[in-house]
Amino acid sequence: MYIFLVLLLIFTSCTIEAAKPLFQSQTNSANLFYPEDSQGGYDTLTGNIEVAVTSNDLIPQEPTSITGFGSTMKRMIPANFSNVDLGPEFCKAYEGIDLSTRVKVVLFRGDNTEGNKGYYLLVNYDVVAVAADFNIKLLADLAKSFPLLNLTQINTNVFATHTHAGPAGLSQNSFWAMAVCDRYNENLYNLVREQTIATLSQAINQLTPIDAVDEVNTQLEGYNYSRVDNMEVDKSNYFINFKNNGRSLGCINVFGVHSTWFGQDNLKLSADFAGYAEQSLQNATGANTCVFFASTVGNASPYTPPNNNYVAYTNQYAADLLQYETLNNPPPQDLRFGTLFIRLPGFEVNYDGCGVDLNPISETLLDNMLVIRGKDITNNITKIGWFYMGGVYFFMFPGEPLYDVKQTLAALLPLSLPEVETFYFLSLANDHVGYVMMPPTYHTESAESCSTLHGPNAANTIMNSLITGLKQSEQ
């Protein structure tokens, strides 16, 4: 219902013309959306693949709001306009630190298709999501700082772990600020940029050949539950520990769960479930850094541990996960990857999902307003991508897919790409287009279905584009 009200306010307001410069890329120094001429592409790294997995803390040194649920405990009503030049502040600043939020880097190096050393970069932040303008700005800064890596939108991907207790302020899109308590903070962006550059510098210096990997690909019971009635939860867990001479070079964990132990009344900065899981896996494996990637998070949350004993809970999670390890598997022989830029369907209010019963005339009027105003605000272009390593495909979603999307894709792939046997979603990647679900779920009333932005066909658009892109890249 909250998203519906915000959309209604934005798109029917008579002051929208004055607000246009806050949104449109053409009239703002910030590039808020992926441009029409955004270029995707494909590449492959082969040879003796090297990897480095590094991290650094992200702790703002000044009062900084945290993203979250927009509750009255966090949200200021009315907004705080004390610093008008920076725009309104929509959320309270954090009060103390529970568990450090971090920037984490996974960097691969190998021989590319042109016969040169090529790189593939994953950057992961403990924030609620990353918007397109943050991706664009960050990539420009990284490309300038590391020209020898030839970083582009093809070989660089930016993720969020989706902690609701992470720092806010990385997007210059004012609509984003109003929706998720995330007014842009230049000082925070500068901190993030500096820490990301430092973390990537460390990774470059630590690149080491992979001579073996420990892997887990299993289902785990009891660590997440579905928030959507009559929908299963994704219990799939993937884990890989990169090794050289028996020593861990770093690890990756993929699990479909919101990183949201800390609820709407929390005002402590925290990496939340993702941070605790990373910490437990690092301790269990001897890895300096383990990186958590959110998967089908749209309908899943973690169970609350008894007595809020988060450390004991994720220690047990790590133990249960690692009991299924296959040790010292051969290293990956290649790493294939690709990127596409696609246009999603336009903005659409989900009346059924929000439980809103307007008369047909009112719905038609509002829908027409959305079409007109939506074209003024965004071009609906987003980024999707994938990579393949060690027999597993990883599909990157620019939002929060529900489990029904993965189930649908699992049914479609054998018809189009029978070679894709094992795959995982890496969600909250490169952009945030809201919740992504299949049409039957879209038309049921829930917080998730109400918080969709691009109508019932967004999931199909993304999945069909992924299939098309994969086919093209294999030719």
Read off the pLDDT of residues 388-437 as tens digits, 9 standing for 90 and up.
Answer: 999 999 999 999 999 999 999 999 999 999 999 999 999 999 999 999 99
pLDDT digits (tens, 9 = 90+) for 443-456: 999 989 998 989 99
Cα–Cα distance for residue pair 193/76, rounded to 1 Å = 28
- Give yes or no for residue 306 having a pLDDT over 50: yes
Choice among 85-89, 121-125, 129-133, 207-211 with the minimum mean pLDDT: 85-89
Residue 188: strand, helix, or coil: helix
Domain assignment of residue 33, yes or no: yes
- C-alpha–C-alpha distance, residues 176 and 47, integer Å: 42
Please state the pTM of the whole predicted model: 0.92
Q: What is the mean pLDDT of residues 259-263?
A: 89
Sign of the torsion angle spanned by Cα atoms 163, 168, 169, 175: positive
* DSSP per-residue letters across 399-427: SEE-HHHHHHHHHHHHHH-TT--SEEEE-
Query: Alpha-carbon distance 468 to 475, whole Å?
Result: 11
pLDDT band at 458 (very low <50, low <70, confident <90, very high): very high
What pLDDT band is residue 174 in, cutting at 50, 70 and 90?
confident
Query: pLDDT tens for residues 85-108?
Result: 556 677 778 889 999 999 999 999
Q: Which domain holds residue 340?
A: 1-61+94-163+189-475
pLDDT band for position 461 (50/70/90)? very high
Q: Is residue 337 part of a domain?
A: yes
Mean pLDDT of the chain: 88
In a domain, 333, yes or no: yes
374 lies in some domain: yes
Closest to 44 (Cα-Cα) out of 103, 90, 111? 111
- How far apart (Å, rounded) are the C-alpha atoms in residues 380 and 283? 42
Question: What letter represents residue 236's amino acid?
Answer: S
In angstroms, rounded to a whole number, what is the distance separating the alpha carbons of residues 181 and 87? 12
What is the domain count for the chain?
Answer: 1
198: tokens are 């430092």
Q: Is residue 148 part of a domain?
A: yes
Do residues 308 and 269 lie in contact, with contact meaning Cβ atoms separated by under 8 Å? no
Residue 176 domain-assigned? no
Task: Tell me whether residue 41 is in a domain.
Answer: yes
Q: For 186-210, what is each residue's pLDDT tens digit?
A: 889 999 999 999 999 999 999 999 9
pLDDT confidence bin for 66, thresholds 50/70/90: confident
The percent of residues in the chain predicted with pLDDT above 90, rounded, is 71
Question: 3-state DSSP call for residue 41?
Answer: strand
Residue 178, domain member (yes or no) = no
**Cα 256 to Cα 253: distance, rounded to the nearest angstrom:** 10
Looking at residue 31, what is its pLDDT?
83
